[in-house]
Structure 1
Amino acid sequence: MQLQTSPLVISESPFFSDLFSSPLWLIHLLLSTMSSRDKGSSSSPAMDNETYVKNRIQELVRLIKVARVYRQDNVPSLIQQGLYLGSFAAASNKNALKSCNVTHILTVASSLRPVHPGDFVYKVVPVVDKEDTNLEAYFDECIHFIDEAKKQGGSVLVHCFVGKSRSVTVVVAYLMKKHGMTLTQALQHVQSIRPVANPNAGFIRQLQDLEKSLQGKQESLAHCQV
């Protein structure tokens, strides 16, 4: 008995719909990345067919996720006047950035590079989204960058890849340090505007350390004024 197979209908799949509705330059970039990884990996007996297929599937899933973010989350989220938060797609959307009066872009990611270097002032913080990443070490310079953008009458977009963990951590730290918010207040404010916001556990601990440090300074100041 001969098995009947039906062809894959790409247009009816939401995954492939997301992928192929993205700009051609994005698809080309991602496919090039996949291809370069293949060239850089040496074939060995340990790399059997099953492992190879699994790796390719993982790459394809990542590509689809990237395309979906680009399609569905490409506009900056206004956190407060002069301060926006978003994904790499928002940082790529030049028209939206200009309409928001964004003049500065703070990229909190090691794998992303400025997309429009001639149009905006960039700062890149090369960190990965892992619990053991010391993002706290960059808080002061990130806050200074945001303040400078505002002082110049512009606005700043803080972004990472998805706009969920690294960039959120920096924005929360800014609200805590510059506006006297508690960690809970700052995070809830950001999440009310951008529900996807969810720093990893390591970043939360660093924000808790910042909160303790700020509380200690306030107590010391109050003690000196007595």
Structure 2
Amino acid sequence: SLSESFFMVKGAALFLQQGNSSQGQRSLQHPHKHAGDLPQHLQVMINLLRCEDRIKLAVRLESVWADRVRYMVVVYSSGRQDTEENILLGVDFSSKESKSCTIGMVLRLWSDTKIHLDGDGGFSVSTAGRMHIFKPVSVQAMWSALQILHKACEVARRYNYFPGGVALVWATYYESCISSDQSCINEWNAMQDLESTRPDSPALFVDKPTERERTERLIKAKLRSIMTSKDLENVTSKEIRNELEKHMNCNLKEFKEFIDNEMLLILGQMDKPSLIFDHLYLGSEWNASNLEELQGSGIDYILNVTREIDNFFPGLFAYHNIRVYDEETTDLLAHWNEAYHFINKAKKNHSKCLVHCKMGVSRSASTVIAYAMKEFGWSLEKAYNYVKQKRSIARPNAGFMRQLLEYQGILDASKQRHNKLWKQQADSNLPQNTDGTTGSGDFLMESLDIDLENRLADLDMPSQSAYLDNRGDVSVGFDYCFRRLSDTLLENKIPTDREGFFHVEQLEGELERGAAP
């Protein structure tokens, strides 16, 4: 029976992997005496699965809606490579007594998946530019969830599951089954540390606001509505404030400065997004929250380059989040590779992407400049001037400009690897072999990742320590070795380690002696 295939703690059921039989073919014969409604919910959730898929774990989560029940479900299957693949499903029940459920979220666990405790009774799972927060209903349930998730992430890393590969293609079936109410989908996509949220955004992850904070939020919402309905060339700020007081039915004298600042902010955001390329818009928070404008512009993809602004329409658009603040110390370069692929995904699908931050000035503008440099092979100067021409207020902060300069160096170095003249020069400087032949210019690098572009995807990893070499220069803490393959070597024997390897310093010395007159 189904009751023999799992054990329960409060709010969670952990399935035991026994044989290859389908869970969907089983039925619940002897529910646990103190299990409550969990066994019945499990049977309903199992009925959602394809016959070849199985549930590994189901964890009940907190919800802002008192009458609703939510579960994070870990589902696994055997993929095209006959290896275990895992996804997370967000499952919604409209009530405890409900005999049916719907899917509100699907998250594939790729090799870059990271899990972090949030310090508030929950944890976040981030992968491929997405992040979701889960708050189990008990400590024991959270412990069970973390154990299973860490094991699933280890499997994904071991087999290097990455977006665009052959892994996890079966998750498309569950993505096509997403049918929860929009309010449920919004809750699955709730984020922390937000300053600007959609009106129905769940308040599960924020402290209870003060009376003044609640009033300021209401002012923001009402003010936007009023300003969009007015001819701003023929109305004064005082008239807008008076109408705001009528709408809110209260005196807002103590909020005068806040209202004036908010009006200027909204006014700056109300411009239409700037069309940078046929498939790419650069804009502000306002543009990201204007559904009519987004749909009218043919935008299906939104790149949100902020930590403080919500995804306003989850379920209607494809989102990718780069959760950073507009500070000079922010490492934005580490995210440009993933941003590049997300923007190009819109291009390949004959759609459009909006890249936005708060004002469309610094974070998002820097990201669009970096995209142009890589996509078209432009210099920083050319890309900057082009974006500036299309959106005059674009102005990356000093830290982002330094990162763009560094990014230009990385892209230039990558181009040099494919330069025939560079390769010919390298061949001409190679030392002679003992038989008088010139060694081949091809080297097999044992430790060095030669694809400099792919290094961008690894910038989130802790950097290697540096050391001072005997000349006082700073060197990266790697010990690289190279193997040289000459024609005669290929025809004869494979060298031993001592015969075939030499250090970089030896190579430089031989090259210098070979180049000497």
Q: Kindly tell me: are residues 58 and 199 of structure 1, through their superposed partners in 2, closer, same or farther at Cα, counting changes over 3 Å?
A: farther
The match for 2:263 is: 64
- In structure 2, the residue matched to 1:102 is 299
Q: Which amino acid aligns with 1:174?
A: Y
For 1:28-43, list aligned pairs within 5 A: none
Query: Alpha-carbon deviation of 1:198?
Result: 0.4
Specify the code of the residue in structure 2 equivalent to 1:68.
L
- Deviation readout 1:119-138 (Å, 9 max, x if unpaired): 21111111100111000010
- Give the Cα–Cα distance (whole angstroms) in 2 for the partners of residues 116 and 158 of structure 1: 15
- Of stretches 143-152 and 164-173 in structure 1, the one that deviates more from structure 2 is 143-152
Which stretches in structure 1 are left out of the alignment for 5+ residues? 1-10, 29-52
Given that residues 241 and 259 in structure 2 are in contact (C-alpha distance below 8 angstroms), is that contact kept between their aligned partners in structure 1? Answer: no
In the TM superposition, what is the alpha-carbon distance from 1:99 to its structure 2 partner? 1.7
SS at match of 2:319: strand
Q: Which amino acid aligns with 1:147?
A: N
Partner of 2:374: 177
Aligned to 1:161, the other structure's residue is in SS state coil
Name 1:4's counterpart in structure 2: none
Looking at structure 1, the residues matched to 322 and 273 of structure 2 have their Cα atoms a distance apart, in angstroms, of 19
For the Cα contact (< 8 Å) 1:164–1:199, is it kept in 2?
yes
Among candidates 336, 339, 352, match of residue 155 of structure 1: 352
Aligned to 1:93: 290
Q: What is the CA–CA distance in structure 1 between the aligned matches of 2:418 and 2:296, rounded to whole Å?
A: 42
Match for residue 203 of structure 1? 400
CA drift of 1:104 comes to 0.3
Q: Which has the higher contact order (CA 8 A, sep 6+)?
A: 1
Structure 2: where are the runs of 5+ without partners?
1-231, 249-253, 426-517
Q: Call closer, same or farther: CA 1:57–1:194 in 2, change over 3 Å.
A: same
Give per-residue Cα distances to partners, 1:54-79, cap 9 Å, x unaligned: xx777455423332234x32x22110
Note if contact 2:303-2:322 (Cα within 8 Å) is conserved in structure 1: yes
Q: Which residue is 1:120 aligned to?
A: 317
Distance 1:128 1:174 in 2: 19
TM-score of the aligned structures, taking structure 2 as reference length: 0.33
| Aligned equivalents of 2:325, 2:240: Cα separation in 1 | 26
Is the contact made by 2:365 and 2:395 (CA closer than 8 Å) also made in structure 1? yes
Quick check: 1:109–1:125 contact (8 Å CA) kept in 2?
yes
* CA distance in structure 2 between the aligned counterparts of 1:91 and 1:212, rounded to whole angstroms: 32
Conservation of the 8 A alpha-carbon contact between 1:84 and 1:157: yes
Secondary structure class of the residue paired with 1:221: coil
Tell me the TM-score normalized by structure 1: 0.73
- Distance in 2, Cα, partners of 1:124 & 1:21: 36
* 2:402 partner amino acid: R
Percent identity over the alignment is 34
Letter in 2 for 1:116: F
2:266 and 2:286 in contact (8 A); partners too: no
The 1:203–1:17 alpha-carbon spacing in structure 2 relative to 1, beyond 3 Å, is farther
Q: Which structure: greater helix fraction?
A: 1
**Structure with more of its chain in strand, by fraction:** 2
- CA distance 1:18–1:90, shift in 2 (3 Å): farther
> Is the counterpart of residue 193 in structure 1 residue 390 in structure 2?
yes
The one-letter code of the counterpart of 1:95 is E
> Post-superposition shift, 1:14?
4.3
| Deviation of 1:205 (Å) | 0.3
Query: Quick one: structure 1 residues 97 and 184, their matched pair in 2 at CA, closer, same or farther if it must change by over 3 Å?
Result: same
Q: CA deviation at 1:176?
A: 0.2
Matched residue type, 1:156: C
Counterpart AA for 1:188: N
Q: Residues of 2 paired with 1:181 and 1:151: CA distance?
A: 21
The aligned amino acid for 2:321 is: V
8 Å Cα contact 1:19/1:67 also seen in 2:
no
CA distance in 2, matches of 1:144, 1:60: 40
Determine helix, strand or coil for the equivalent of 2:418: helix
State the Cα distance separating 1:194 from its structure 2 match. Answer: 0.6
Superposition RMSD in Å? 2.7
Q: Distance in 1 between matches of 2:374 and 2:242?
A: 42
Distance in 2 between the 1:213 and 1:111 partners?
30
Post-superposition Cα deviations, 1:79-112, rounded to whole Å, max 9, x if no partner, equal 0111110011111121221121100000100000
Distance 1:15 1:219, change over 3 A: farther
How far is the alpha carbon of 1:16 from its aligned partner? Answer: 5.0
Letter in 1 for 2:267: R
Looking at structure 1, the residues matched to 332 and 298 of structure 2 have their Cα atoms a distance apart, in angstroms, of 27
Which residue identity lines up with residue 281 of structure 2 in the other structure? Y
Q: CA deviation at 1:118?
A: 2.6
Task: Give yes or no for contact 2:282–2:356 (8 Å, CA) kept in 1.
Answer: yes
Moved beyond 3 Å, runs of 4+: 11-22, 56-62
Q: Distance in 1 between matches of 2:313 and 2:273?
A: 15
Asked if the contact 1:16/1:64 (under 8 Å) is kept, the reply is: no
Structure 2 match to 1:44? none
- Please identify the structure whose Cα radius of gyration is greater: 2
CA distance 1:18–1:123, change in 2 (3 Å): farther
Query: 174-183 or 210-219, which moves further after superposition?
Result: 210-219
1:84 maps to which residue? Answer: 281
Match of 1:224 in 2: 423
